[in-house]
Structure 1
Amino acid sequence: MTHDQHGLAITGASAAAVRHYDRAIDELLHFRVEVDAEAGAALAESPDFPMGNVLSAYLGLLTTEVEDARTARARFGAFRRRIDETSLPPRERAHVAAVQALLDGDFLRCGALLGEITVAWPRDALALAAGHQIDFFTGDSRSLRDRIGGALSAWRDDDRHLGHVLGMYAFGLEEAGHYDRSEEVALRAVELNPHDVWGIHAVVHTYEMQGRFGDGLRYLDARVGDWSTGTFFNIHNWWHYGLYALEAGDVPRALTIYDSVLADGQACMELVDAAALLWRLHLEGSDQHERWRALADAWPRRVAEPFYAFNDMHAVMSYVGAGRIADAERLITSRESYVLEPRPGVTNRDMTLRVGLPVCRAIVAFGRGDYASVVDLLYPIRHRINEFGGSHAQRDAVQKTLLEAALRGGRRDVARALVSERINVRPCSPYNWLKQAALADALGDRAAAATARHRAGGLVRAALPDTTPGG
């Protein structure tokens, strides 16, 4: 028996396979594409290496790509048939059970099993990383925080991956609303490892949630060489850059980012970012039909069968943005049939039923100009949108859709409450004040509208002194 780089026992692997496995974990924590090659090399050395097969399966399942999941299911099934699982040590046996739960579509059980592994073996970096992603996919902010927080005391200051663990913890802190602590921990993570793109991501999430778009732009500009290339996560961080640009009213800058980076995305998580940026422009009346058309063309095979409701929402956004309402409706109809069948333990079925379908129907209603239906669909579920995953920043597209529909549909009472909520959480957000101005216009209060617009412009000038505010 040998041990991995974090001191955990490893069975069924040659010394060369373990070296590849350790390198694969390092690449995974850095979000680098080389993780696939290293994981493959580990299995080439030792085909029945349990943790190598576990890692390979997680890599296939956590992309939220249907084809990747199908391949992972076949390969892991063949692995299980070749081995005697009763001979595996407890940690490896627990990982096999966690992977199987995920293969069966039970995100929640997989997350719980990974949590048990973390309690018993807090230095299991793979259990931490995979569990962290499961918490993200299920929108569980408390577990995003506590899964990592509960393991931190087992990590030493001289651990080479301490910074990565801190980066995960910082993101969990941010999603749970601990912004001061999140910023402190995230900055420490990046100090330990300047190329920790997840730690950088935690910093920019914290600034996003506090409305500190100027700080976010300056931070990303100062570290552009650390996060913008060389990983499969750079597109998402560019998306955050685009959000900051939109907050500042700089639509041309956001579109430049879209055209140079986001428009070339191929994976589901990259298409999600592209749709999410364009949808925010769509809500403001910006016609991007050609960009939408190209994006909509990329979605059909990726949502041909149900897998992750969060992806479905962004596919529907793309279809609506491109004017392909019929395609959006066909996708919704297929998901309506999907949820009619009992699927015990399939997390996506409940996600689709409780959140995915209402949100997708609301997006189509918005595209049709049926703003009353948008409000009726979204307002009752607005506090449980997290149930189908994503971050607060990503799900804000849904909240903004609700607010815009309330404004356009004359639901001034709802719009007033929603704008008030946003301003009192983030009074430094120009977007929030511009919506206050739109509401005041609707109420015929020109003075209040002018005051709110002046406030929005002042916030942009204060955050970015050399920027002329838009909007």
Structure 2
Amino acid sequence: MTNDQHGLAMTGAGAAAARHYDRAIDELLHFRVEVDAEANAALAESPDFAMGNVLSAYLGLLTTEVEDARTARVRFGAFRRRIDEPALLPRERAHVAAVQALLDGDFLTCGALLGEITVAHPRDALALAAGHQIDFFTGDARSLRDRIGGALTAWREDDRHFGHMLGMYAFGLEEAGHYDRSEEVGLRAVELNPRDVWGIHAVVHTYEMQGRFGDGVRYLDARTRDWSTGTFFNIHNWWHYTLYALESGDVPRALAIYDSVLADGQSSMELLDAAALLWRLLLEGSDQPELDERWRALADAWPLRVAEPFYAFNDMHAVMSYVGAGRIGDAEKLIATREAYVLEPHPGITNRDMTLHVGLPVCRAIVAFGRADYESVVDLLYPIRHRINEFGGSHAQRDAVQKTLLEAALRAGRRDVARVLVSERINVRPCSPYNWLKQATLADTLGNRAAATAARLQADELARNGGRAY
């Protein structure tokens, strides 16, 4: 029996396997591609190493890629058939059960089981990291905050990964709306570990949610070398950079980043960032011929990744890509497969409920927007606007849906709905130029030229000052 770097006992691992496992956890927390090599090396040394097999399974399941999940299912099934499961330690058996729940498509049970592990073992870095990702995939802001917050007092500041715990906690604080505390904790996490890309990401989210895009650009610029190389998370942070560029009105800069970084995305998580940026440009009426080639390439990348139901949040971005490319028929075919999917019995599969209650209405609304049927967009999205978190992602990512609803309300002449939506946005984020520009558009439809002019002046001032009114 050996102990991992955080003092937790493990069975079935020789000294070399344990070293590779510890390195793999470090690479995982840094979001580095080397995590796969270290995890494989651990299993090459000790094939029946329980926590090594658990780690390998999580790595395959948390990419949201169907093929990765299929491979993980085969490998983990073979591992379970080989071992004497009752002989494992209680913590290891709990991890095996959590992995099996995830393999069975039950994100919620997996998250709950991982929570039980961290109650008993708050220094289990893998349980915390995997649970944190589950909370992200299910859009559970409270658990994103409290899963990590409940374990923090078991960690010391001189622990190797204490900073990473703070980085995860900062993101949970941000998603739960504690922006001042999130910024404080996130900055401390990055101070402890400058290459904590998740901590950097948490700070970036905090600035996004407050409309502080100038601060966000300056922060990313100051730390470019820390987050833009040596990590598979760099594309997502570049996407955040494009959001800041759009908020400031700098579309050419956003497109330059798209062409140099986002257009080369290989995974579903990278492709959805690309789709989310182009969709925001489509909503704002950017010259479509300029975007056509980008949309076509992006739409071509999706079919294999959504060939079968797996994660509704990915489906939405595939539909965005099809609609953006003018391939409405492909979008409707994808929706039809999901409509058939939710009619079948899939007990315990979280994605089925995600698809039924949020994914399908959102995908139908995106197609309706592509058809200029703005009334239908409002009818589909307005009733679910306060619970779209149920199919995962962050506030920043899901804002594409909220912006689609607002733009449709404006174009449909649904002035009362548009007024509510604009008022909500301005009062939460009064330093956002986008919000004031939408206020100006609404005022135009009401014939209030003075209000429209005042709103545009406010937007211009905020754009010049990086989200700060002076």
For structure 2, the 5+ residue unaligned runs are none
1:468 match? none
Q: What is the root-mean-square deviation of aligned Cα atoms in Å? A: 0.7
Given candidates 383, 401, 404, the residue that maps to 1:401 is 404
2-structure distance, mates of 1:390, 1:463? 26
Amino acid at match of 1:163: G
2-structure distance, mates of 1:24, 1:200? 21
1:81 match? 81
1-structure distance, mates of 2:160, 2:44? 26
2:233 match? 233
Amino acid at match of 2:465: A
For structure 1, the 5+ residue unaligned runs are 466-471
Shift of 1:392: 0.2
Amino acid at match of 1:291: R
Shift of 1:354: 0.2
Cα pair 2:431 2:467 within 8 Å, conserved = no
Q: Does residue 358 of structure 1 match 2:349?
A: no
Given candidates 443, 458, 466, the residue that maps to 1:440 is 443
Cα pair 2:433 2:467 within 8 Å, conserved = no
The residue correspondences of 1:26-175 to structure 2 (distance < 5 A) are: 26-175=26-175
Deviation per residue, 1:6-43 (Å, 9 max, x gap): 00001101100000000000000000000000000000
1:338 match? 341
Q: Does residue 176 of structure 1 match 2:176?
A: yes
1-structure distance, mates of 2:200, 2:279? 25
2-structure distance, mates of 1:268, 1:463? 31
Deviation per residue, 1:99-129 (Å, 9 max, x gap): 0000000000000000000000000000000
Given candidates 450, 458, 463, the residue that maps to 2:461 is 458
2-structure distance, mates of 1:119, 1:142? 16
Shift of 1:463: 2.0
1:14 match? 14
Amino acid at match of 2:352: R
Deviation per residue, 1:279-329 (Å, 9 max, x gap): 000000112111000000000000000000000000000000000000000
Deviation per residue, 1:320-347 (Å, 9 max, x gap): 0000000000000000000001111000
Cα pair 2:167 2:189 within 8 Å, conserved = yes
**CA 1:358–1:464: 2 relative to 1, 3 Å:** closer
Amino acid at match of 1:81: R
1-structure distance, mates of 2:203, 2:158? 23
2:254 match? 254
Deviation per residue, 1:158-180 (Å, 9 max, x gap): 10100000000000000000000
SS in 1 for 2:465: helix
SS in 2 for 1:463: coil
Amino acid at match of 2:157: D
Deviation per residue, 1:201-234 (Å, 9 max, x gap): 0000000000000000000001001001111100
Shift of 1:464: 7.9
Given candidates 284, 291, 295, the residue that maps to 2:294 is 291
2-structure distance, mates of 1:376, 1:332? 18
2-structure distance, mates of 1:249, 1:442? 22
1:469 match? none
1-structure distance, mates of 2:295, 2:371? 16
Given candidates 328, 332, 341, the residue that maps to 1:329 is 332
2-structure distance, mates of 1:359, 1:464? 30
TM-score by length of structure 1 reads 0.98
Shift of 1:2: 1.0
Q: Does residue 420 of structure 1 match 2:426?
A: no
2-structure distance, mates of 1:118, 1:137? 19
1-structure distance, mates of 2:335, 2:309? 11
2-structure distance, mates of 1:177, 1:379? 22
Q: Percent identity?
A: 87
Cα pair 2:432 2:467 within 8 Å, conserved = no
Given candidates 364, 368, 372, the residue that maps to 1:369 is 372
Cα pair 2:163 2:188 within 8 Å, conserved = yes
1-structure distance, mates of 2:223, 2:162? 20
2-structure distance, mates of 1:379, 1:5? 49
Amino acid at match of 2:360: L
Where has structure 1 moved over 2 Å in runs of 4 or more? Answer: none
1-structure distance, mates of 2:100, 2:390? 22
Deviation per residue, 1:244-263 (Å, 9 max, x gap): 00000000000001000000
* Paired residues, number: 465
Cα pair 2:335 2:360 within 8 Å, conserved = yes
SS in 2 for 1:419: helix
2-structure distance, mates of 1:36, 1:463? 40
Shift of 1:448: 1.0
1-structure distance, mates of 2:215, 2:405? 28
TM-score by length of structure 2 reads 0.98
SS in 1 for 2:105: coil
Cα pair 2:144 2:172 within 8 Å, conserved = yes
2-structure distance, mates of 1:178, 1:165? 17
2-structure distance, mates of 1:316, 1:161? 39
Q: Does residue 200 of structure 1 match 2:210?
A: no
